[in-house]
């Protein structure tokens, strides 16, 4: 039982005891007063009647008339006039008053006895008769009943007022405890909250101050680990001069697009600054670095986060555009060439052209070495020609774009309209106990016109191009909810950035989840790291999902580790580290240092870390020794149809 309820019950019991005692004392006092009044009433009536009868001591009819007059005008049980010598009853009137002013049970409860009084009727110096008067307690019971009702109402109103004031006072005084509970729950959700205004009560003030210190300590510890992890990531995967990714990170991303669940097609562009060594001698190292930075800025402006960019070495840059077709890649190369030509006007370089561009297509199943070789051949051809500064590897001749676009449009539209997206699931298991399944990751598959099963990486770029990614998300959500209703392990379903940016799709998502809130503990919503909304929108999404009872997690994490400092506010269920950081971790020490730092940062806020695409025994053993919570990959199970 909560402290508030205990104190509230204590106040109520105290008020009840006080109320009962006060009421009983008041009723008993009124009872004694009424008893005295009954006695006085009887005696006064007897005395007055005795004096009135003295002149008529020998006139019995007159006595009867006077006794009847007194009896009818008051609350008497009986009035008798007795002969003084023989004790014979001369006159007698008795009866019970008709009017009832109090309940019978109350009369039995107070038990007021009739009061009596007597007086002598004198005839000169002789005692002629004796008058006995017995007052009926009915009138006193009525007065006592009215007094008890008034006392009861007053005590009830005053007690109710005191209880209400006590409850308000308790709520105000115990408000810091409620915030401490919320603070503790927030820590359990991996959020950090501090109470800025300390309570005035000294005891609560000390407790709240201690909790705030603990929260600040946890925040500082987490920020320190996050900063260390970000530094390791930058050292391993970032170019120090331009801030772009380095060749190593780019190779990891390219390899992920050539194989695995994220496999998809697109174009690789290589850009090489002309005569970098000569420029370094002519204009100096500082201005050459400025040129390299300027080229990197032009690439970033052109990319706007849609493409993977990297500086390979020296004056060579790489750009990977997933989902691009031949005409779009040529347009991209032309736009990039024009943007680089504008650098000629800034005076940074006097060479014309500034750089040459070579591009080649890639598709799932290709070798990264072959893709680079084709791009190098295209780059060499671009440097040897004069009509344009870019070239495409001619061996990569895809089918006409119009036909392919129409084919994909027809296939995807029919599939979504008919609900023919096939769901597969891959187990995510405990790193220390692989037989224990934490949850299953839901994956999308699509049958093409030839009956081939296509992974999501093949058709997701086309869905994004057609603006249908939200349709796929809602269709998969319907199937997943229907599957969970039949009974299943916990599932994790990823959403695209298009769904998060579409208010109508997001409202539809919330509506579906609200209708199945009982499934909240068994469904986790995952978001891709490279498709996250702004921090405020992300925090609002996390709060809304938590209110509906569903968990939120991140997948393919690792490229934007600088944002991990904000993850403490989201209350995430887990983070899945991108498989590119896991591949060959047992052979590359710097990867291991990076994941260890990430694990320490996540562990400081009790945030489970799960490794994706674990495919070798060596990778698993290294991850298990680090304390990783879970693993996912072909080593622990191939994706299977969601039955």
Query: Which CATH number fits the domain that encloses residue 628?
Result: 3.20.20.450
Q: For residues 258, 259, 261 and 266, what is the CA-based torsion angle, rounded to 10 degrees? A: 10
For residue 553, what are the β-bridge partners?
526
- Looking at the fold, whether 374 and 422 belong to one and the same domain comes out as no
Query: What is the DSSP annotation of 510-547?
Result: HHHHHHTGGGGGGEEEEEEGGG---HHHHHHHHHHHHH
Do 24 and 109 touch, CB atoms closer than 8 A? no
What is the percent of the chain where pLDDT is above 70?
A: 90
- Looking at the fold, whether 388 and 418 belong to one and the same domain comes out as no
> 541 in a domain, yes or no?
yes
- Looking at the fold, whether 493 and 524 belong to one and the same domain comes out as yes
- Which residue, of 360, 392, 424, is where some domain finishes? 392
- Looking at the fold, whether 586 and 499 belong to one and the same domain comes out as yes
> 184 in a domain, yes or no?
no
- Looking at the fold, whether 490 and 621 belong to one and the same domain comes out as yes
- 107 or 440: whose pLDDT is higher? 440
**C-alpha radius of gyration, the chain, whole number:** 47
Q: How far is CA 99 from CA 75, 115, 139, 371, 600, in A?
A: 10, 19, 9, 113, 88
CA 622/CA 303 separation, integer angstroms: 36
- Looking at the fold, whether 388 and 405 belong to one and the same domain comes out as no
Q: How confident is the model at residue 168 (pLDDT cuts 50, 70, 90)?
A: confident
- Parent domain of 102: 38-153
Q: What is the pLDDT of residue 399?
A: 46
Q: Quick: pLDDT tens for 597-636.
A: 888 877 877 789 999 999 999 999 999 998 899 999 989 9
- Looking at the fold, whether 430 and 365 belong to one and the same domain comes out as no
Q: What is the pLDDT of residue 527?
A: 92
CA 46/CA 184 separation, integer angstroms: 80
- Looking at the fold, whether 416 and 348 belong to one and the same domain comes out as no
> 12 in a domain, yes or no?
no
- Asked if the peptide bond before residue 620 counts as cis, ω within 30 degrees of 0, the response is no
Helix (H, G, I), strand (E, B) or coil at 243: coil
> 199 in a domain, yes or no?
no
Query: Which CATH number fits the domain that encloses residue 388?
Result: 3.30.70.270
Do 614 and 582 touch, CB atoms closer than 8 A? yes
CA 622/CA 643 separation, integer angstroms: 33
| 278 has a pLDDT exceeding 90 | no
> 245 in a domain, yes or no?
yes
> 83 in a domain, yes or no?
yes
Q: Give the 3-state DSSP-derived string for 582-620, with helices as H, strands as E and coil as C.
A: CCCCCCCHHHHHHHHHHHHHHHHCCCCEEECCCCCHHHH
Q: How far is CA 248 from CA 136, 238, 309, in A?
A: 110, 9, 12
| 401 has a pLDDT exceeding 50 | no
Query: Which CATH number fits the domain that encloses residue 127?
Result: 3.30.110.200
CA 72/CA 76 separation, integer angstroms: 8
DSSP conformation class of 364? T
> 279 in a domain, yes or no?
yes
Do 438 and 430 touch, CB atoms closer than 8 A? yes
- Which residue, of 346, 362, 392, is where some domain finishes? 392
- Which residues contact residue 407 at a Cβ distance below 8 angstroms, ignoring those fewer than 6 apart? 449
- Looking at the fold, whether 417 and 357 belong to one and the same domain comes out as no
Domain count, the chain: 3
- Looking at the fold, whether 488 and 527 belong to one and the same domain comes out as yes
Do 145 and 101 touch, CB atoms closer than 8 A? yes
- Which residues contact residue 405 at a Cβ distance below 8 angstroms, ignoring those fewer than 6 apart? 325
- Which residue, of 122, 153, 184, is where some domain finishes? 153
Question: Mean pLDDT, to the nearest integer, of 480-505?
Answer: 89
> 388 in a domain, yes or no?
yes
Q: What is the pLDDT of residue 497?
A: 87
Q: How many residues does the chain have?
A: 643
Q: Quick: pLDDT tens for 121-162.
A: 777 677 778 888 887 677 777 777 777 788 778 878 887 888
- Looking at the fold, whether 432 and 536 belong to one and the same domain comes out as yes
Lowest mean pLDDT among 298-307, 490-499, 511-520: 298-307
| 400 has a pLDDT exceeding 50 | no
- Looking at the fold, whether 576 and 627 belong to one and the same domain comes out as yes
| 396 has a pLDDT exceeding 60 | no
CA 414/CA 123 separation, integer angstroms: 128
């Amino acid at each position: 039982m909560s402290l508030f309820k205990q104190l509230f019950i204590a106040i109520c019991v105290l008020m009840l005891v006080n109320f009962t005692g006060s009421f009983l004392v008041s009723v008993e006092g009124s009872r004694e007063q009424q008893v005295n009044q009954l006695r006085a009433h009887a005696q006064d009536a007897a005395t007055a009647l005795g004096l009135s009868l003295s002149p008529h001591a020998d006139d019995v009819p007159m006595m009867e008339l006077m006794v009847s007059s007194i009896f009818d005008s008051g609350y008497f049980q009986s009035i008798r006039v007795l002969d003084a010598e023989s004790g014979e009853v001369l006159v007698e009137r008795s009866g019970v008053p008709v009017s009832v002013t109090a309940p019978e049970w109350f009369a039995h409860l107070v038990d007021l006895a009739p009061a009596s009084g007597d007086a002598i009727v004198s005839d000169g110096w002789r005692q002629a008769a004796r008058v006995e008067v017995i007052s009926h307690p009915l009138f006193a019971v009525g007065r006592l009943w009215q007094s008890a009702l008034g006392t009861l109402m007053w005590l009830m109103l005053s007690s109710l007022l005191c209880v209400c004031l006590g409850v308000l006072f308790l709520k105000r005084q115990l408000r810091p405890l409620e915030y401490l509970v919320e603070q503790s729950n927030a820590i359990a959700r991996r959020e950090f909250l501090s109470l800025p205004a300390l309570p005035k009560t000294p005891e609560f003030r000390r407790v709240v101050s201690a909790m705030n210190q603990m929260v600040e300590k946890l925040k500082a510890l987490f920020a320190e680990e996050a900063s260390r992890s970000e530094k390791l990531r930058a050292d391993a995967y970032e170019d120090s001069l331009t801030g772009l990714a380095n060749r190593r990170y780019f190779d990891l991303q390219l390899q992920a697009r050539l194989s695995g669940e994220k496999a998809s097609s697109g174009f690789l562009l290589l850009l090489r600054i002309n005569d970098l060594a000569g420029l370094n001698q002519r204009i100096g190292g500082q201005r050459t670095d400025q040129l390299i930075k300027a080229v990197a800025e032009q690439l970033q402006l052109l990319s706007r986060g849609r493409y993977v960019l990297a500086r390979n070495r020296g004056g060579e840059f790489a750009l990977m555009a997933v989902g691009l077709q031949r005409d779009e890649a040529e347009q991209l190369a032309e736009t990039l060439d024009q943007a680089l030509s504008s650098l000629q006007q800034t005076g940074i370089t006097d060479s014309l052209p500034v750089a040459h561009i070579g591009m080649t297509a890639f598709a799932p199943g290709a070798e990264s070495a072959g893709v680079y070789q084709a791009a190098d051949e295209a780059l060499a051809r671009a440097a040897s020609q004069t009509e344009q500064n870019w070239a495409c590897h001619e061996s990569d001749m895809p089918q006409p774009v119009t036909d392919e676009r129409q084919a994909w449009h027809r296939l995807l539209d029919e599939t979504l309209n008919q609900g023919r997206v096939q769901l597969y699931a891959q187990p995510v298991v405990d790193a220390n106990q692989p037989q224990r399944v934490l949850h299953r990751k839901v994956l999308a598959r699509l049958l093409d016109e030839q009956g081939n099963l296509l992974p999501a990486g093949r058709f997701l770029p086309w869905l994004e191009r057609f603006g249908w990614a939200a349709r796929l998300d809602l269709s998969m959500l319907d199937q997943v909810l229907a599957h969970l209703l039949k009974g299943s392990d916990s599932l994790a379903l990823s959403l695209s950035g298009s769904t998060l940016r579409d208010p109508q799709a997001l409202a539809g998502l919330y509506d579906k989840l609200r209708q199945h809130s009982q499934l909240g503990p068994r469904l986790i919503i995952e978001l891709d790291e490279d498709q996250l909304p702004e921090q405020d929108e992300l925090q609002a999404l996390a709060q809304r999902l938590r209110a509906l009872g569903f968990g939120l997690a991140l997948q393919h994490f690792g490229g934007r580790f600088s944002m991990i400092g904000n993850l403490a506010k989201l209350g995430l269920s887990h983070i899945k580290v991108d498989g590119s950081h896991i591949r060959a971790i047992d052979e590359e020490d710097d990867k291991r240092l990076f994941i260890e730092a990430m694990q320490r940062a996540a562990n400081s806020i009790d945030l489970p870390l799960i490794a994706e695409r674990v495919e070798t025994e060596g990778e698993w053993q290294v991850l298990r020794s680090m304390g990783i919570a879970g693993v996912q990959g072909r080593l622990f199970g191939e994706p299977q149809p969601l039955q």
